[in-house]
Amino acid sequence: MSADFFDSNVFVYLFDETDAAKHAVARGLVADALAQGTGIVSFQVVQEVLSVLTRKLKVIARAEDAESFMQQTLVPLWQVQPSPELYASALGIQQRQGFSFYDSLVVAAALQAGCGRLFSEDLQHGQRIGRLRVENPFRA
């Protein structure tokens, strides 16, 4: 079974309940990934999620709640660390695909981890980048 890479927006919907359907999808995806051990995130996703939880949501998470979420949810999925090779790969993806650098870094991390799917609503649903397929799990 191929692993799935999770972009930060999936985790943000766990806390943002303004869209009940997206919240439910995110809750199911993350629960399955944790139970089956098939989800992967990178350092960048961890940073983005913690930043949004502690600064950008309508109801900001307390530091201890954000840390608990990090330890219980993000850390078990966290497999990709920064490296010169990861950044070089992201720069190449940025040049070839025309993505922003940060989207390219997410794609590079997913490819480095050997993932078959990238769950994100930031990229084009169904797009293939190498062996990676982008899937917007919130698409109606």
User: How far lies 139's CA from each of 120, 125, 135, in Å?
Assistant: 10, 8, 9
Domains of the chain: 4-135 (3.40.50.1010)
| Amino acid code (one letter) for 138 | F
Q: How does the average pLDDT of the chain come out, rounded?
A: 95
Residue from 98, 130, 123, 133 nearest 9 by CA: 123
- Compute and round to an integer the Cα radius of gyration of the chain: 14
Give residue-wise pLDDT tens across range 26-60: 999 999 999 999 999 999 999 999 999 999 888 88
pLDDT band at 105 (very low <50, low <70, confident <90, very high): very high
| Contact by Cβ (8 Å): 1, 116 | no
Measure the CA–CA gap between 76 and 109, rounded to whole angstroms.
16
* Mean pLDDT value across residues 99-119: 97
- At 59-72, the pLDDT tens digits run 889 999 999 999 99
